[in-house]
Structure 1
């Protein structure tokens, strides 16, 4: 079985054109033999980098919300149909528009075009909270059975949360899709190293080892025209072209792919064998024979709690 991970730039602020580009990349992955393809965080319609440069930009915010994706939309149907036409599992990050709010969302589409899972990032990271709402309890149900195995997803900074990671491990992932925005090389300046390409790749590598699964690590690319468009040149982050960092990690943590240049759009691919998941779990099964649930356990509430509900 072959997996593909996208490292590309969306068509910023343009949902229709980014859906078109999404389908082209799905076609490319499938034509090269992939049975699963993973896209970055907020791929549709792109990560709003300007929120790290200034606290308020109502014009950009309105445009962004108008180009966000509704789960029941024609645009989502187009992606589902493309997955079915190419017989490929698709994991994609998007800005979900629901009512008047937007959420950092992810979905898993099976190779027959069925939408198996949608979820929302439980707690947007830092300044993202000025733009996006929180996820609900159902977003803890983030692993789905697909034609290529059990596939789970988390978004960006969620990977820093040990409890959320463990909750995801417990659902028996074979393949994990780690969605990130454009992630630059650390400049040596005051910004946290934890937001650098090396750091987040290390997080994904460790995730593979701890979960004993394959990890598809996907990131966006940003170019100079996009930096100018979102006016982030003077920001601490998202201020230089690049950010590409796509990788695939095996269940024992080894990297299976060669890196693309950080400024280059493309796709990395690797053969994966689910027997390797079984072999690594024979040595280390975090939620199985290596656990001590009578001593240490995790409680979780995966129920959705809407704003208006019957008591």
Structure 2
């Protein structure tokens, strides 16, 4: 008999721009999912800080020196996750006690740059961070692109967990690198799992012969404004946020997808915890007809080189006199 694994997607509203409050919600919802028996738990893209909906709905934010854009950027810089952030402690404790894996998206600050990062919490181990490699057109206004150093997977007793965010699922070479890692469960984080996102997630599951947790968020304009106020906004961006459409901005539609590309469970457009029990034996049975990283890969014809070095832009090189120079 093949092993069974219960997984969950927490489809809920983040606390936009207020990361501390968002982390409190992540901890509470993680505990709920653990009580339901889930061993892998996924949240949607940018849950810690909230997806920047103003990029999609207020075209003026792309104007040079826009005061509202600058204030929102400053708020996110101040709120963003940094290093071994003390705000991680309660979630890490819950993960350690229950022996589960939790993937949650958020904003990470490295020096003075912001990244959209998927944080993968693991029992009694360091948090894995995947910085988004491919940003959408509007996200490039304020986020940096990650490098290959964060393409990692978590080794669990029953298999491997990996993660990517939204448009990365349309990068054939990124998919190939992750399929090569041999994922059992893949977290596909999205703001909303729209039809095209569902297509990408199902394709990923079928191509990689892995289970996919396509995790979306639920977000409303009122929550965006409340988060702005909770984060201590000084008012410069309030007019910008007031121009957002009334009502709902992100619509969830999360799904748990089997290796044959078929949804095992699918959420609606409101907050819920979506659960499914996975039959891990489906992976090995499916490999009989599709082995993308093995017999179907044709390494005699195609070869992929993955650069996993961390890129900083500055490299110190010792000169002939032993002095350090900036290259």
Question: Which residues in structure 2 correspond to 1:78-157 (within 5 Å)?
Answer: 78-110=90-122, 112-139=123-150, 141-157=151-167
Q: 1:38 aligns with which of 21, 39, 42?
A: 42
2:192 equivalent in structure 1 = 182
**Offset at 1:137?**
2.2
Q: 2:198 aligns with which of 168, 192, 201?
A: 201
SS at match of 1:92: strand
**Offset at 1:37?**
0.1
User: Per-residue CA shift, 1:239-295, capped at 9, x if unaligned?
Assistant: 8444111110001111101422x1x11111100122111111122110101121101
Query: Does 1:274 find its partner at 2:291?
Result: no
Query: Does 1:220 find its partner at 2:217?
Result: yes
Distance across 2 between alignment mates of 1:51 and 1:210? 32
Q: 1:259 aligns with which of 267, 279, 300?
A: 267
1:243 equivalent in structure 2 = 251
Q: Which runs of 5+ in 1 are unaligned?
A: 184-196
User: Per-residue CA shift, 1:48-99, capped at 9, x if unaligned?
Assistant: 1112322241112211221111131101223211211332111111110121
- Give the superposed CA RMSD: 2.0
**Offset at 1:227?**
5.6
Contact 1:30–1:87 (CA under 8 A) maintained in structure 2? no
SS at match of 2:138: helix
Shift of the 168–64 alpha-carbon distance from structure 1 to 2, 3 Å rule, reads same
Contact 2:11–2:252 (CA under 8 A) maintained in structure 1? yes
Number of corresponding residues:
293
Contact 1:169–1:211 (CA under 8 A) maintained in structure 2? yes
**Offset at 1:310?**
3.5
User: Per-residue CA shift, 1:198-231, capped at 9, x if unaligned?
Assistant: 1111110111000000000101111141366674
Q: 1:71 aligns with which of 83, 86, 92?
A: 83
**Offset at 1:153?**
0.6
Contact 1:107–1:115 (CA under 8 A) maintained in structure 2? no
Shift of the 79–170 alpha-carbon distance from structure 1 to 2, 3 Å rule, reads same
Q: Which moved more, 1:58-67 or 1:155-164?
A: 58-67
Q: Which moved more, 1:84-93 or 1:203-212?
A: 84-93
Q: What is the TM-score normalised by the length of structure 2? A: 0.84
Contact 2:254–2:266 (CA under 8 A) maintained in structure 1? no
**Offset at 1:35?**
0.5
Query: Does 1:289 find its partner at 2:290?
Result: no
Shift of the 283–129 alpha-carbon distance from structure 1 to 2, 3 Å rule, reads same
Contact 2:220–2:247 (CA under 8 A) maintained in structure 1? no
Distance across 2 between alignment mates of 1:84 and 1:299? 35
Shift of the 116–17 alpha-carbon distance from structure 1 to 2, 3 Å rule, reads closer
SS at match of 2:95: helix
Q: What is the TM-score normalised by the length of structure 1? A: 0.88
Query: For the pair shown, which has the larger CA radius of gyration, 1 or 2?
Result: 2
Shift of the 288–268 alpha-carbon distance from structure 1 to 2, 3 Å rule, reads same
Q: Which moved more, 1:282-291 or 1:23-32?
A: 282-291
Contact 1:89–1:148 (CA under 8 A) maintained in structure 2? no
Q: Which runs of 5+ in 2 are unaligned?
A: 227-237, 318-327
